[in-house]
Structure 1
Amino acid sequence: MDGGGGRPQTSRGWGAARRSAGRARGGRTTMRDRPGSGRMALALAVLAALAPRAAAAQSPCEALAGATIPAGEIGLPSGGVTVTAARRIAAGPSPIAGNADLPARCEVLGRVEPRQPASPPIVFQVNLPEEWNGRAVQYGGGGFNGVLITGLAQLRENPPQAPHPLSRGFATFGTDSGHQNVPGVEIQAFALDDEALENFTHAAYPKVRDAAAAVMRRVAGRAPARVYYYGSSEGGREGLLVAQRYPERYDGVVSSVPVINWVGLQGFGTRGGQMQREGAWLSPDAVRRLHDATLAACDALDGLADGVVSNQPACRAAFSPRSLLCAGGATEGCLGEASVRFLETHRAPYEYGMALANGLAAYPGAPIGGEAQPDGMNAWTTGPEAPRFPLPSPAVQSRQWYYGNGAIRYFLARDASYDPARFAMADFAEGARRLSAVMDATDPDLSAFARRGGRLLLKEHMADYAQSPGAGMAYWEAVRARLGGEAVDGIARFYLHHGANHSGIATDVATGRALPGFVDLLGVLDAWVEGGTPPGPLVQTTADGAASRPLCRYPAYPHFGGGDPARAESFACRAP
Structure 2
Amino acid sequence: MTLPSAISARHLSLPLLKIAFATSTILASANIAHAQNSAPSQLSVVKPVTECSGLAAATPATVEGAGVTAQSKALTTAKGTFCHVTGIIAPSIGFEIDLPQDRWTQRFVESGCGGLCGMINASIGNASRCAPALNGEFVVAASDLGHKGKMGSPDEGAFAADPQKRIDFAYRANHLTAQYAQALIHTYYGQTPRYSYFSGCSDGGREALMEAQRYPQDFNGISAGAPAMLFQVQNSFYHAWGPTVNRRADGTAILLAGKLPVLHAAVIDHCDMLDGTRDGLLTDPRACHVRPEWVRCPTGAADTTRCLTPEEWSVVARLYEGPTDTAGHHFLPGGVQPGSEMGWDAFVPAEPNGRMMGVSMIRSMTPVVLQNPVPADSDAARYPFTTEQFSRVTALHPLNDATSTDLRAFAGNGGKLIMWHGWSDTSIAPMISVAYYKGVRNQMGAGPTDAFLRLFMLPGTEHCGGGDGFSQIDTLQALMTWVEAGKAP
- TM-score clears 0.5: yes
Tell me which of the two structures has the higher relative contact order, counting C-alpha pairs closer than 8 angstroms and 6 or more residues apart. Answer: 2
Deviation at residue 492 of structure 1 after TM alignment: 1.1
- Please name the residue that 1:4 is paired with: none
2:68 equivalent among 81, 96, 118: 81
Distance 1:265 1:147, change over 3 A: same
- Please name the residue that 1:434 is paired with: 395
Deviation at residue 67 of structure 1 after TM alignment: 6.9
Whole-angstrom distance in 1 between the partners of 2:325 and 2:211 = 26
- Please name the residue that 2:231 is paired with: 262
Task: Describe how 1:329-340 pairs up with structure 2 within 5 A.
Answer: 329-330=300-301, 332-333=304-305, 334-340=307-313
- Please name the residue that 2:24 is paired with: none
Q: Is the aligned partner of 1:328 residue 2:319?
A: no
Distance 1:257 1:386, change over 3 A: farther
Partner secondary structure for residue 288 of structure 2: helix
Deviation at residue 311 of structure 1 after TM alignment: 4.1
Task: Describe how 1:520-539 pairs up with structure 2 within 5 A.
Answer: 520-535=474-489
Whole-angstrom distance in 2 between the partners of 1:245 and 1:210 = 14
Deviation at residue 384 of structure 1 after TM alignment: 4.0
Residue-by-residue CA offset, 1:18-72 (whole Å, 9 max, x unaligned): xxxxxxxxxxxxxxxxxxxxxxxxxxxxxxxxxxxxxxxxx5211135677443x
Q: Which amino acid aligns with 2:384?
A: F
Deviation at residue 427 of structure 1 after TM alignment: 3.4
1:296 equivalent among 269, 292, 298: 269
TM-score when scaled to structure 2?
Answer: 0.81
TM-score when scaled to structure 1?
Answer: 0.70
2:52 equivalent among 42, 53, 61: 61
- Please name the residue that 1:314 is paired with: 287
Deviation at residue 361 of structure 1 after TM alignment: 5.2
Distance 1:452 1:352, change over 3 A: farther
- Please name the residue that 2:97 is paired with: 126
- Please name the residue that 2:86 is paired with: 109
Whole-angstrom distance in 1 between the partners of 2:444 and 2:163 = 34
- Please name the residue that 1:564 is paired with: none
Q: Check conservation: 1:353, 1:426, Cα contact below 8 A.
A: no
Q: Which amino acid aligns with 1:408?
A: T
Deviation at residue 254 of structure 1 after TM alignment: 0.6
Q: Is the aligned partner of 1:495 residue 2:481?
A: no
Task: Describe how 1:471-550 pairs up with structure 2 within 5 A.
Answer: 471-507=432-468, 516-535=470-489
Deviation at residue 259 of structure 1 after TM alignment: 1.4
- Please name the residue that 2:192 is paired with: 223
Deviates more, 1:493-502 or 1:400-409: 400-409
Deviation at residue 517 of structure 1 after TM alignment: 4.1
Whole-angstrom distance in 2 between the partners of 1:485 and 1:219 = 42
- Please name the residue that 2:46 is paired with: 13
Q: Is the aligned partner of 1:150 residue 2:119?
A: no
The alignment covers a number of residue pairs equal to 437
Q: Check conservation: 1:409, 1:418, Cα contact below 8 A.
A: no
- Please name the residue that 1:195 is paired with: 164
Whole-angstrom distance in 2 between the partners of 1:80 and 1:425 = 44
Distance 1:12 1:298, change over 3 A: closer
Deviates more, 1:179-188 or 1:455-464: 179-188
Deviation at residue 231 of structure 1 after TM alignment: 0.8
Deviation at residue 417 of structure 1 after TM alignment: 3.3
2:385 equivalent among 409, 424, 432: 424
Whole-angstrom distance in 2 between the partners of 1:82 and 1:185 = 30
Residue-by-residue CA offset, 1:316-371 (whole Å, 9 max, x unaligned): 2xx324543444233622323333222212212434799xxxxx953422111142
Deviation at residue 167 of structure 1 after TM alignment: 2.0
Whole-angstrom distance in 2 between the partners of 1:336 and 1:164 = 54
Partner secondary structure for residue 272 of structure 1: helix
Whole-angstrom distance in 2 between the partners of 1:263 and 1:440 = 7
Whole-angstrom distance in 2 between the partners of 1:361 and 1:480 = 22
2:148 equivalent among 180, 190, 193: 180
Whole-angstrom distance in 2 between the partners of 1:140 and 1:418 = 29
Q: Check conservation: 2:233, 2:394, Cα contact below 8 A.
A: no
Q: Check conservation: 1:106, 1:127, Cα contact below 8 A.
A: yes
Deviates more, 1:423-432 or 1:203-212: 423-432
Whole-angstrom distance in 2 between the partners of 1:250 and 1:135 = 11
Q: Is the aligned partner of 1:344 residue 2:317?
A: yes
Q: Check conservation: 2:85, 2:97, Cα contact below 8 A.
A: yes
Deviation at residue 163 of structure 1 after TM alignment: 3.2
Deviation at residue 236 of structure 1 after TM alignment: 0.8
Deviation at residue 426 of structure 1 after TM alignment: 3.1
Deviation at residue 233 of structure 1 after TM alignment: 1.1
Q: Note the aligned Cα RMSD (angstroms).
A: 2.9
Deviation at residue 498 of structure 1 after TM alignment: 0.6
Q: Which amino acid aligns with 1:302?
A: D
Task: Describe how 1:406-417 pairs up with structure 2 within 5 A.
Answer: 406-412=364-370, 413-414=372-373, 415-417=375-377
- Please name the residue that 2:421 is paired with: 460
Whole-angstrom distance in 1 between the partners of 2:111 and 2:259 = 38
Gap runs ≥5 in structure 2: 1-39
Larger Rg: 1
